[in-house]
Amino acid sequence: MSATVVVCDSCCCGNAKKGHNIVPIDFLNKSWEKYKLGNEVNLRISTCLGPCNMHNVSLLKTENENIWLGNLGTEEHYESIIEWAIQTSRNDQNVELSPILLSKVFDYDGDTDGIIS
């Protein structure tokens, strides 16, 4: 199973001057290396994903679905994304989101073709 985690780190997301929490890019990159996730779950740090009103946005993309997460702001949010990626890398079935991430899911119908190939 191939999956991708896309994390926005652009004009709004991660911008402390706008009152948003910093996106822990180094922590994510190191975790991807530590757990050797790159072969099964790609990590992409992106410019604007579109839904800026949800600041600190991430997209979890699998063959079956796009899961949009917004208003991420704590270390626990990003640790839960890492745990989702670990479980996804080990499992061909759909992995359930943790309760902390379920509360951050939102619908977005924007175009993702330019984001993920």
Task: Quote the CA–CA distance of 102 and 86 in Å, as a whole number.
Answer: 17
pLDDT, mean over the chain: 89
Contact indicator for 43, 7 with CB cutoff of 8 Å: yes
Q: Which two tokens stand for residue 48?
A: 């604007």
Task: Quote the CA–CA distance of 111 and 26 in Å, as a whole number.
Answer: 27
Please write the tens of the pLDDT for every residue from 49-100.
Answer: 888 888 899 999 998 899 999 999 999 999 999 999 999 999 866 789 999 9
| Total count of domains within the chain | 1
Domain span holding position 31 = 3-58+65-106
Structural domain contains residue 69:
yes
Please write the tens of the pLDDT for every residue from 13-27.
Answer: 888 888 888 899 999
Structural domain contains residue 112:
no
Contact indicator for 80, 100 with CB cutoff of 8 Å: yes
Task: Quote the CA–CA distance of 90 and 12 in Å, as a whole number.
Answer: 33
Structural domain contains residue 113:
no
Task: Find the CATH number of the domain harbouring 98.
Answer: 3.40.30
Instruction: Give phi and psi for 68, each to the nearest 5.
Output: -95, 130
Predicted structure pTM score: 0.89
Calculate helix-pair angle for 75-90, 25-34, nearest 10 degrees: 30
